[in-house]
Structures are given as structure tokens and as C-alpha cells.
Amino acid sequence: MNILSYKNKALKGSPRVIEKTIAFAVIDDRNIIKHDLVKYIVETYTENTLYNFYKRKCDILGFYKEAEIDTAIEEAYQKDYDLLVVMKNGTFMNTSFFFENLQKMIDNNIALMGHILDAGPDYYFVHEQCFFLNLKAWKLASSPEYFSGNLDVVTIERAPTNFHDNYTPHWIRMKEDKMPDIVNVEPGGYMVSELLKAGYGVSPFTELRKLKWFTYHGDTMKCLMKSLSINAKEYHHGFFSTETEYIAEHRLHDKIDTFISIASAFHPFKVMQKMKLNPENLIMYDISNEAIHVYRNMLQAWNGKSYIELLNNSRFEYRSGHNETLAQKSFDEMKEMCDWEPFFDEVCSKNLDFLRGNLLTETFHKKFINELTKDKVCLFHVSNIFSYEAETYYYDIFQRLFSFYNLFVLMKKHTKKTIFKGSIFNLDNYVSTDKMDPLYFINKAKELAITPWQKEKLVDFESSLMKRWEDIMHD
């Protein structure tokens, strides 16, 4: 499958999806939900997952009933997609989970990946909550139906070990043997058999399984308990020692007085170099105490010589997937961009401020209204904070767009001009306070409404945008 591109990939970034190659079919069973909070959880997890991959150039094929899975597969094939993701409402997938498992499919000739369950004495079951299907392989295997009950299936050898319980094998493969002694073929089972018979691999999800979960919303209390358990996990924010986003060259027409930047790797330094900035003031912010601590050391105590030594002296632990080699590579890239030592000394001599807090909250927004920003031209690097899936999966998309809108209106009122840089939903990578108003956000909200329930909320959301504008601008 030629579906991924690694061009302009950041050191710790994700690959790009080639357009028109991957589609999502959503199984919509919200009619079974009996509790308002469960409904909110299910819809929020679903829309966040869908939008995360929609913005990465995956398409949304449509919303289907569970009984229509075979219809969705056929429609995706007829539209010439390479891969179909069948995903039930209430599924959350982190980007890393998606790309790591997808890469394993590509590297190992795997045609079907999902939750492959040993349903003995029945045949194997592919859970409808989520599976990835290579459509070209499916067609070459004679288009086996998901809901086929055909008993003409191959014998399967399974791993003696499980992910959990005794029905979740770590692997399966075809076994040259007589036909299995089974009672029934569960949904997906015949498809598994035909793909194996055609020489393709079939595999459970094996990579980063903790970064995907499902609400099990058919059971109200189970769903609420699972959501509580997920949200109660202590998230380790840490410090990003390596860039996770590609920084492109960009020229602004305005002279920037104040640069507001996330405290991450060499982001502020590289942005200043790529954009030819020389601000008088630099505000470093982050939700992480560790990140602020590292940057205080970097700008107020470090000699600019050994990045690894700085990290080692900062009570620092590498985040998952980050390591000393990548950190050093990030520093080497930085030094290649400029005459490093005088540039570093110049940055350290600026008017500095360090702010710690959650950029989604109004209380933290207000901390940016200070002597370094009032009546100044500011560049505000928000990165991907408003759409950062690791922490925002339990906030719906309109809620997070409204949070950015609140920050935008505050900066519009109190600064001469603020230019925002980052991945802010469907906004441009650079947007400024002198070119946006409530109508702009209303139109963007309409574009973001990719699910039926979001479309139902649009009128109320538009009303909230207008009220907040009046509250701040006319206060």
C-alpha cells in the first residue's frame, strides 16, 4: 500500500497520509445510549478521533449501522481507497497508535488488523469497534463478507499467550490441517479465513495498544467507570527534548515586539531563525513544570555548549519515543542554522518571562495580558495545543475552538496585534487578530462540523461566540 509519505517529517513527527488513500467508516449506534454523560463521552471520543485523522487527509466515508459494514467495505473499494478503517462510535485512537500499527501492516503484508478474538467453540471474531482492512487484498481474496457465516474456513494456529483474558491471542496464522471443528463463524471470521488462505497476514493490534480505547457504551456504568479510570490517570507532561513539528521558513510583514513560545526543545530558537525574528521580549510558557524548569536553566544558567548536559542537570526524563540521540540531533540542527553562541547569548539577554498553566483555560489566558504584551505586536506560538489528542480527547472540538476564540478576543483587545502560529483546527498556520472576527469563527465551526451531532450544536455555538465577543470587547 502506497499510503504514507515521510517528506518534511519532523524528527519525532508522524508521516503524512497520501490523499484519497485512507477512508473511515463510522458505525453509529448512539441509539442504544441511555445516559446523557455517556452520550457526551461517546460523541467526544469519536469526533476527536475523526477530526484528528480528517486533518491528516483521511476521508470520512460515512456513518453506517452495524449491519451495513459489508456495504461500507464495498463502497470504499468502489471509490478506490487503499485502506478502510471501520470504527465504531466511542473509539479513541491516538496518532501514534494508528501509524505504528499501519506501518506494521505495510511492512508485514498484513491485510487485516484489529481486535481478533478467539471465540471458541465458535470461529474467530473481528470486533466491530475497530479494524483496518487493505481493500486491494480484500478484493484479491474474492471480497469475503464480514457477516458471512460460511463454515468453509481454514484451521488457525494461535499464540499461547494473550493480551488479556484467554481470547485475545498475540498472533494468529493459518495451519495446514483438516477443517476446524467449530459451531459457528462469528462476524469477521470468514474474512479472516479467506485472507489467510490467499496468503495475507491477519493480526491483532500489537503496537501501543494503551493509546486506543473504547467506551463500551452498551453498558452505562461500565462506560462511566472506564471513562473515570482513563481520566484519573496521571499524565506525565515532561519536556519535549526533540521537535515534534516541522518548522518551515516564513516571513512576517510586521516587526514582532514579543514572541510567546512553548517551552519545547529548540522551538523558539528555530522559529526565530526561520522567520528572521528579533523580538525585544520572550515569554516561555508550558503546562509542564519540568518544561519550564528546563527552559529557566537553558536561558538563565546554561552556557549553550552541551544540550545533553543541560538535560541531565535538569531532573529530566525523556518522553516516550524520545532519547539522547534525537536530542543531540535536534541541537546539531540548531547549530547548523546560525552562528550559535552569539545568537544564544542574544536570546538570553531579552526581557524574559516564564508562565506555567493550561492554555485551554481562561484563567491562564489572562496571564498573557501583561507589560510585555499590552499594546505590542506579538507572535503567539500555540503549536498543536488546542488539538493535542493526548490530553484533549475528553473535550469536544467546539469546546476547544471556543477556548482559542477566548484567547484570540483577549489578545485582540489588549495587544496592538497578535499573530498566532500553530495547528489550530482548520485555521491557517498563521492567523492574526486584525483579520478575524466572530463571523470568521462561525464559518470555521461549520467546516469543523463533520459529524451529525456537531451539526445539531451549531446554532447554540454561534450564539456563544457572539456573547463572548460582547463580554470581552465591551467590558
Among the ranges given (8-22, 226-240, 251-265), the one the predictor scored with the smallest mean pLDDT: 226-240
Give the separation between CA 394 and CA 375, rounded to whole angstroms. Answer: 35
pLDDT tens-digit readout, 342-355 = 999 999 999 999 99
What pLDDT, on the 0 to 100 scale, is given for residue 337?
95
Q: What is the Cα 373 distance to its own chain's centre?
A: 31
Model confidence at 390, pLDDT cuts 50, 70, 90, reads low
pLDDT tens-digit readout, 281-338 = 999 999 999 999 999 999 999 999 999 999 999 877 888 788 999 999 999 999 999 9
Instruction: State the alpha helices, DSSP H only, in 216-263.
Output: 220-232
What pLDDT, on the 0 to 100 scale, is given for residue 366?
97
pLDDT tens-digit readout, 163-192 = 999 999 999 999 987 788 899 999 999 999
Question: Which residues, in sequence order, are CB contacts of 433 under 8 Å at separation 6+?
Answer: 408, 411, 412, 415, 417, 418, 419
Give the separation between CA 297 and CA 300, rounded to whole angstroms. Answer: 5
The model's pTM: 0.89
Cell, residue 447: 467546516
Residue matched to cell numbers 445516559: 35
Residue matched to cell numbers 483587545: 413
Average pLDDT over residues 443-455: 97
Question: Which residues, in sequence order, are CB contacts of 220 under 8 Å at separation 6+?
Answer: 33, 34, 35, 38
Average pLDDT over residues 417-446: 94
Question: Which residues, in sequence order, are CB contacts of 167 under 8 Å at separation 6+?
Answer: 117, 118, 119, 120
pLDDT exceeds 70 at position 218? yes
Decide which of 52 and 234 is more confident.
52
Give the separation between CA 259 and CA 368, rounded to whole angstroms. Answer: 11
pLDDT exceeds 70 at position 234? no
Model confidence at 233, pLDDT cuts 50, 70, 90, reads confident
Give the separation between CA 277 and CA 211, rounded to whole angstroms. Answer: 38
Beta strand pairing call for 125-134 and 110-117: antiparallel
Average pLDDT over residues 28-36: 97
Residue matched to cell numbers 540548531: 334
What pLDDT, on the 0 to 100 scale, is given for residue 392?
79
Q: What is the Cα 68 distance to its own chain's centre?
A: 27
Residue type, 355: L
pLDDT exceeds 80 at position 417? yes
Model confidence at 248, pLDDT cuts 50, 70, 90, reads confident
Collapsing DSSP to helix, strand or coil, 159 comes out as coil
Instruction: State the alpha helices, DSSP H only, in 262-385.
Output: 267-275, 289-300, 307-312, 324-337, 340-348, 362-365
Model confidence at 278, pLDDT cuts 50, 70, 90, reads very high
- Pick from 305, 262, 280: nearest CA to 373: 280
The alpha carbon torsion through 69, 47, 125, 189 (nearest 10 deg) reads 30
8 A C-beta contact, residue 463 and residue 402:
no
pLDDT tens-digit readout, 6-26 = 887 777 678 999 999 999 999
